[in-house]
Amino acid sequence: MKSLKKITNKVLYLCLFMILSIIIQIPTISEGFFGGESSKNINLFLHVAITFFSTIIIFLIVYTVYHRLNSKPIFVKNNIIRSYSFAVLFALLSQILQFAITVLEKGNDQDLELLAASQSKLAPILIITLVLISPLLEVVVWQGILQGGILKDIPPLFSIIITSVLFAFAHGYSFNYKTLELLCSGISYSVLYYVTDDLGSVVFCHGLSNLIVYLINFVF
C-alpha cells in the first residue's frame, strides 16, 4: 500500500509539475506588445502590474510545491565562491556550444517582436524577466521540483538526462537545431545543480546565459 501511495503521489506531482511549467511563463507575456500596442503606444502600467503580481503569485505557488518535495533552501550560503564560479563557467560553455550549433545551422534566432520591445519602454521589463524572473521560476520548477524532488530517488545521471531532455523539448517544441541548443542549456543547469546542490547558483547561471543571449541578439 505504501508503495502504491508513493507511486500515486509521484504521478500527481508530475502532473502538477507539468502545469507549473506552463504557468511560470505567464510573466513573460508582458515582455512583448499587447494587441493594438506599438513601440510608441504602450500601456506601461499594465505591463508592470502583470509582471509584478503574476510573479509574486506564481512564485508563492511554486515555492509551496517545492517546499513539499525538496527540503533544501533555494540559496545556499556555503561555498558561494565555488558554486558561482561554476555557474559562470557553465553559462559560458553552454553559450559557446549554442553559438557553434547556430553557426552550423546558419540560421537567425532573432525575434523581431522582442527586438522591437528591446528598443522601447518595455526594455527594462524584458531584461528583468529574462535575467531574473524567468530564471528564478524555471530553476525552482525544473531543478528544484523535478530534478531534486520528483526524480531524487533515481540515479543522478538519469535525473540529469530526463530533466535536460524535457527542458529542451518543452522550450523547443520539436526536434531541431533550436532544441539541440536548448539541450545544452538544460544539461548545464542540471549538471550544475548536481555539482553545487545550490539552486541559487543555477538561477545565476540561467540569468547570465539569458543576458549573454540578449546582448548578442539585441545589443551587439
Tens digit of each residue's pLDDT (9 = 90 or more) over 131-158:
999 999 999 999 999 999 999 999 999 9
Range of the domain at 82: 2-219
Q: What is the mean pLDDT of residues 178-206?
A: 95
Exposed, middle or buried, 112 (CB in 10 Å: 0-12/13-18/19+)? exposed
Torsion of Cα atoms, 146 then 47 then 32 then 95, to 10°: -40
Number of domains in the chain: 1
Phi/psi for 62 (5° steps) reads -60, -45
Q: How far is CA 31 from CA 37, 38, 131, 175, 212, in A?
A: 12, 13, 12, 26, 17
Torsion of Cα atoms, 138 then 143 then 145 then 147, to 10°: 140
Torsion of Cα atoms, 83 then 89 then 94 then 95, to 10°: 130
Torsion-angle region of 68 (φ positive above 0: left; ψ -120 to 50: alpha; else: beta) = alpha
> What cell does 143 get?
531543478
- Banded model confidence at residue 77, pLDDT cuts 50, 70, 90: confident
Q: Which amino acid is at 123?
A: A
pTM of structure? 0.92
- Banded model confidence at residue 174, pLDDT cuts 50, 70, 90: low
- Banded model confidence at residue 175, pLDDT cuts 50, 70, 90: low
pLDDT at 107: 58
The CA-based angle 182-183-184, given to 5 degrees, is 90
Higher pLDDT, 54 or 31: 54
Which residues, 6 or more positions from 182, have their beta carbon under 8 angstroms from its beta carbon? 167, 168, 171, 172
CA–CA dist 160, 216 (Å, integer): 28
C-alpha 167: how far from chain center: 9
Which residues, 6 or more positions from 132, have their beta carbon under 8 angstroms from its beta carbon? 207
C-alpha 183: how far from chain center: 12
